[in-house]
A and B are shown apart, each in its own frame.
Chain A
Amino acid sequence: MNLNRYAKRIVFSFIACAVCLLSLAYEQKLFAQPHGQKAAEGPLNRKAESEGARIVSGFQFKPLNFVPPMVERVELKNGMIVYLLEDHDLPLFYATARIRTGAVYEPEEKSGLASLTGHVMRSGGTVSMPSDKMNKELEFLAASVETSIDRESGSASLSVLKKDIDTGLAIFADVLMHPAFPEDKIKMRKDEVIESIRRENDHPMQIAGREFRKILYDSGHPYSRRVDGTIESIGKITRDDLVSFHKQFFHPNNSILGISGDFNKEEIIKKLNMVFAGWKKQELQYPEVPTVKREFKKTVNYIYKDINQANVIMGHLGISRTNPDYFAVEIMNFILGGGGFSARITSRIRSEEGLAYSAFSAFQTSRDIGIFYVSCQTKLQSTNRAIAIALEEMEKMRTAPVSEEDLLLAKETYVNQFIFQFTTSASIVGQKVDIEYKGLPLNYLETYVENVKAVTLKDVEDVAKKYLHPDKIKILVVGDKEKFDKPLDTFGKVIVLGLD
């Protein structure tokens, strides 16, 4: 709520791999660093490790005795899938819903419609409860109901104390089923979104994130667009559009619900049937989403901004979330630039050469083909150097063998950190909902560790060759190229882009 303390003085040391590019530096979670060597050397032989590591290798660790709680999955009569996990430790109750919808289903000329609908569903109140009454009621109970629609999914959440479950569930269901979409709240949200679009060019990272999608995806594909829309498209959206967008997608047989907390299963199912009584199964119609064109072609793109630190984002198309190579790709990227301090790109750019605070690579996956990208921010005078290192590391990942030690470090990290997937009942249920929504195997969590362990050196080498294309990379730099260490066209012909 209050970023005063952080905005004032707290400075975080690293940023976690935040895939979204955020507006304020304070909001970012920073990254870490890896394992760097000069390109000329082979992978470091970790056998000759430190005295400390030798001492640690003699430690005996007791096995962790933990059996994750069983989450139940039921289907209600109306077709809604419900995951339940009772947790009586604290008098709390959480619900989270995923609804199959998203900005990918909105017409291009009305981009921003899905996001607007997702926001005003809650901010505009319902047919029976105006928004100011809803706000008062929820806030007095220290409860919250929130909704949103993103690129490929809709979400709704409820957090309430045990004593107020009935009130909370009633409002939660009402918001999902009967949003009022009053004109004034639509206008208010439109104005807010327009203001945030107006302000995007104030933040180098936001410019980079927005433009990179345009460069990567064919302009006819919804993946190329901003979920928020444009000032022009927002102007075209009417109340009727919101009403029909909501009507088209919000149905019980299109929703997965996860609930956790201090309740009794039989009672809560009765309650769910009661609050969602008016919600009927519907035949569902989905607009067709074009398939992503697999186009790989090197381009160098540049946007001028008078800043003293270049914002670099470079990459190409990656993989979809359900790609069978997913685990191998995760492990490979951990070694390349996703594994914090122990990743190669981060290590060389950050700790070895001191060129950036945040430097990492990531595969951002989606329903169709997502994005592989490398991100870093470095002073103008080392822009080319940083880009060159990232390209070099990508190439090395494809051509030089990965050591057993690098693979082991990645796998041990994934396996040993797995316990943190189970820190709260709400997070366990949330993952279950997410897994089903994304079309992953329902036993995904149960098989996760063996899937990680199954990744071999050959798998890592294969996916590096298959999914990394440094020769067909798309580079985007925001900054002042007159002050770069070397001309930007060292990497290819520069396409100069204007700012919207």
Chain B
Amino acid sequence: MNRKVTTVIFSIMLLLLITARGIHANSLKLDVKEHVFKNGLTLLMLEKHEVPIVATRIYFRVGSVNERPGITGVSHLFEHMMFKGTQLFGTRDYAAEKPLLEKEEELAVKISEETKKGEHADKEKVASLENELGEVRKKLRDLVVKDEYFSLYTRHGAAGLNAATSSDGTYYICNLPANKLELWAFMESDRMKNLVLREFYSERDVVMEERRLRTENSPFGALIEQLNAITFIAHPYRWPTIGWKSDVQFITKEETREYFQKYYAPNNAIIVMVGDFYRNEAIHLIEKYFGDIPGQAAPPDVKTLEPEQMGERRIEVEFDSNPYIAISYHTPGIGHADLYALDVLSSILSDGRTSRLYTSLIEDKRIAVMAQAGIGIGKYPETFTFYAIPRAPHTVSEVEAAFYEEVEKLKKEPPSDWELQKIKNQIEASFIRKLNSVSGLASEIGYYELLSDWRYINTYQEKVAQVTANDVVGVANKYLKKKNRTVALLVKKEIEEVAQ
């Protein structure tokens, strides 16, 4: 399982002599240095000189939460397009390519408009347009240097080259040998300046396949998509990051381009560097390559607030699969004081073999083979989610009842000192372990900066240390209640019976 970026855990003050660079002795705090450029670009730096590698991240403050119905999935589709090259990279001759790309777009729009008519589409017209399009694509293919962004990076030793999109942000990941930073700065700044949406239509098809893989043919993927859609009735967290099928299928190049212009500006970006580099050199390098990209007005914030839930919501998802269950409760967004106690609560419930859900549902009752709870930390109010896999012949109802039983216990009786201390010990230890990974640190620093402020990492430890047993009882009562929950059950598809 992927560890949620947000179960990131840190530590209370520890009287430990830590010798690693970038960390204050006697306390577990990251000593991140910050530099903001004239165009609004934020650079966060943490030097660690043990191994000659640098973990770099470029985070853009845009995710599916910034979309709207009709173009859901555009943030993620655009993330794919960021690997297709620029006016300098990925093409033999951009001047020759440009008019062909425009022609391709014109034909693709016409084809889309016709096929959208469904059964009324003029098939002959579509066929002849597709022929013409095929000819244009042949010419385009001769001009493309295939996947050059990727091969140039890897041949210079880049590792972990990837990108990810979430509801709140889009992340570009690249770990490099320390001597290749200039190459990275050049290639990344060029992506921000001169991106070209080439191979757009085939990439849109790739995303459709990704959707089939992750959601449409995956029981758990399908369940979570439905759960979110029903948990949020107003806030844009309701649609999936990958987008609704009908939207992704027809997102236009024009819509994608608008997205790029609106959000991919230096004032909306965060660069993180962790590893073997020197601060002054890094600032100089970023200034040299990114300094001339103009800043622009900040994009609008999401206005819609999720209204208070007025009663339990329940859905069934029919699927050709054994059953699953997922339950979500509305919780606040980052910055709210209750999140620390909620985090402790989720650990008490489901972190490790001594956690309550494990000992009760899995070990004692043996009604489930997996039972997890976790708190989502988002820019906007998120959810506390429980999900479990029942063990046949036990049912989702039994699992659901057993989960409520554990929740009720926590509402009435404070957790033990031992449980709280265990969690605090684990938070400290995991902070120390994290310092071993430049890549992990870079992701975390960027992630929290994107949500609010990287300093959250440092204050988190103190805040969690202050959580008391009664705080846990308090948040259990405040949030984990029937009125505030949405229950999603994945049930075996019924074989249709003949009507009586």
Give A residues with C-beta under 8 Å from B: 1-14, 16, 24-27, 30, 32-38, 44, 46, 48-53, 55-56, 59, 61-66, 88-92, 131-132, 135-136, 139-143, 159, 161, 188, 191-192, 195-196, 198-199, 202-204, 305-309, 339-342, 347, 350-358, 377-379, 408-409, 412-413, 415-420, 422-424, 426
B164 touches A12 (CB 8 A): yes
Which of A8, A135, A191, A415 lies in contact with B228, CB distance below 8 A? A8
B216 lies within 8 A of chain A by Cβ? yes
A159 to B148, CA, bound (A): 41
Chain A residues with CB under 8 A of B408: none
Most chain B C-beta atoms within 10 Å of own C-beta, residue among A51, A65, A132, A306: A51
A426 to B423, CA, bound (A): 25
Contacts A5-B4, A63-B179, A416-B157 given; does A188 touch B148 at CB 8 Å: no
B146 touches A377 (CB 8 A): no
B180 touches A5 (CB 8 A): no
A24 touches B425 (CB 8 A): no
A412 to B89, CA, bound (A): 19
A-B contact count (CB 8 A): 341
B217 touches A13 (CB 8 A): no
A140 to B439, CA, bound (A): 27
Contacts A8-B167, A26-B221 given; does A195 touch B1 at CB 8 Å: no
A340 to B147, CA, bound (A): 10
Contacts A32-B150, A50-B89, A341-B150 given; does A308 touch B217 at CB 8 Å: yes
**Least Cβ–Cβ distance between A246 and chain B, in angstroms:** 21
B217 touches A91 (CB 8 A): no
Chain B residues with CB under 8 A of A65: 52
Contacts A2-B3, A413-B157, A416-B157 given; does A33 touch B437 at CB 8 Å: no
**Least Cβ–Cβ distance between B200 and chain A, in angstroms:** 10
**Of all chain A residues, which has the CB nearest B169?**
A10
Count of residues in B whose CB is under 8 Å from the partner chain = 127
Which of B51, B190, B228, B430 lies in contact with A423, CB distance below 8 A? B51
Subset of 11 A-B contacts with CB under 8 Å: A8-B167, A9-B241, A46-B145, A50-B92, A52-B187, A161-B429, A308-B212, A309-B212, A352-B146, A352-B199, A354-B209
A90 touches B322 (CB 8 A): no
A342 to B154, CA, bound (A): 9
Chain A residues with CB under 8 A of B228: 8-9
Q: Which 7 A-B pairs have the closest CB atoms?
A: A416-B157, A354-B205, A2-B374, A142-B429, A354-B202, A341-B150, A52-B88
**Least Cβ–Cβ distance between A276 and chain B, in angstroms:** 25
Contacts A52-B86, A140-B422 given; does A36 touch B146 at CB 8 Å: yes
**Least Cβ–Cβ distance between B380 and chain A, in angstroms:** 12
B220 touches A7 (CB 8 A): yes
**Least Cβ–Cβ distance between A264 and chain B, in angstroms:** 16
Interface residues in B48-82 by Cβ distance below 8 A to A read: 50-53, 63-64, 76, 79-80
A44 to B92, CA, bound (A): 12
Contacts A14-B162, A355-B205, A356-B209 given; does A409 touch B179 at CB 8 Å: no
A51 to B148, CA, bound (A): 11
Chain A residues with CB under 8 A of B320: 202, 305-306
B190 touches A52 (CB 8 A): yes
B421 lies within 8 A of chain A by Cβ? yes
B4 touches A2 (CB 8 A): yes
A10 touches B166 (CB 8 A): yes
A417 touches B159 (CB 8 A): yes
A90 touches B18 (CB 8 A): yes
Chain A residues with CB under 8 A of B220: 7, 24, 26
